Structure 1
Amino acid sequence: MADTNFHELMIERIIDAPVDAVWRAYTDHLGEWFCPTPWRAEVIAMDLRAGGRSAVTMYGPEGEVMPNEGVYLEVVPQRRIVFTDAFSQGWKPAGPFMVGIFEFEPEGGRTRYRGAARHWTADAKAQHEAMGFADGWGKVAEQWEAVARRIAAL
């Protein structure tokens, strides 16, 4: 499940929707699936290019507010998105937690999805694991698939 050289956590799933629908679910419907329910997400900024701002605020059922501010490091449409919270817009250093990587590979009419979180330290990786990485990112992948399937059916 993990590559200790990168302090990496990863999930992999087959999403029963074509890559185009998975991509559109990311670009146009992120707020619908980005965090496990009953949490909800609000997209503040999505400048999908290297150096572009990524800002999503998550809201919990007990009034929790978790802003996620960062930048995109690499964007290859319908194939790969790499982002980090190590910087905020304008390459301002921030308190880094991880580099996130979403990869999409077509498999017939379906998509092989890989989601990885690479951490600067073993402690940060352990913290993310303890926060429920596997369950959380797994649930998010299910929600993402549901949105992508809806888009594919349109």
Structure 2
Amino acid sequence: MTDTNGFELSITRIIDAPREIVYRAWTERLPEWFAPKPWTTKVIEQDFRAGGRSAVVMTGPNGETSEGDGVFLEVTPNERIAFTDAFKAGWVPQGPFMVGVCTFEDAEDGKTRYTVTARHWTEDAMKKHREMGFEAGWGQVASQLAEIAEEMAR
């Protein structure tokens, strides 16, 4: 068990695909699932290694955009991906909002237990993330990821 400050939001899905396939869907097909539809995601850079840059631009149906720029903290293939927006590439500090942790665990019958957790520095940041629609938005993208992984597993 990880000791945290308690300012976490989390989503878990059982995905009907082996974790190696779920991990491949996460890393290889990110533009297809990363933003809740009808939003789209453009990958600027995804350097899947500790210290590597993670940069995307999400675009909404009315042309609105949301940029995400951060770094990967840990990338353990088929097991765990951790990232943060506390830094830009090159360890340039920026206003932190969260640390994201994605885990891929074996579940029964060859399925994967996929959990994504957003850890926040403050209770206010966590509440803001919840009010922004964490459960609905991150739940939808977890379902979109599941759909792609299950298709890949067929």
TM-score, reference length from structure 2: 0.95
Aligned residues with identical type, % of pairs: 57
Equivalent position of 1:148 in the other structure: 149
Pair 1:46-2:46 in alignment:
yes
TM-score, reference length from structure 1: 0.95
**One-letter amino acid matched to 2:71:** V
Matched residue of 1:62: which SS? coil
**1:70 Cα deviation (Å)?**
0.2
Pair 1:109-2:101 in alignment:
no
* Distance in 2, Cα, partners of 1:70 & 1:6: 22
* Distance in 2, Cα, partners of 1:39 & 1:6: 30
**Alignment gaps of 5+ in structure 2:** none
- Summarize the Cα distance change of 1:4–1:127 in structure 2 as closer, same or farther, 3 Å threshold: farther
Pair 1:8-2:11 in alignment:
no
Equivalent position of 1:128 in the other structure: 129
Matches within 5 A, 1:84-99: 84-99=84-99
Equivalent position of 2:100 in the other structure: 100
**One-letter amino acid matched to 1:124:** A
Matched residue of 1:66: which SS? strand
Matched residue of 2:29: which SS? helix
Matched residue of 1:70: which SS? strand
Pair 1:61-2:92 in alignment:
no
Pair 1:72-2:72 in alignment:
yes
* Distance in 2, Cα, partners of 1:41 & 1:109: 29
* Distance in 2, Cα, partners of 1:6 & 1:88: 25
**1:4 Cα deviation (Å)?**
7.4
Equivalent position of 1:34 in the other structure: 34
* Distance in 2, Cα, partners of 1:74 & 1:12: 20
* Distance in 1, Cα, partners of 2:46 & 2:33: 15
Runs of 4+ in 1 over 2 A off after TM superposition: none
* Distance in 2, Cα, partners of 1:54 & 1:137: 17
- 8 Å CA contact retained: 1:83, 1:100: yes
**Alignment gaps of 5+ in structure 1:** none
Equivalent position of 1:18 in the other structure: 18
Per-residue CA distance 1:22-64 (angstroms, 9 max, x = gap): 1111111000000110001111111111000001110001111
**1:6 Cα deviation (Å)?**
3.6
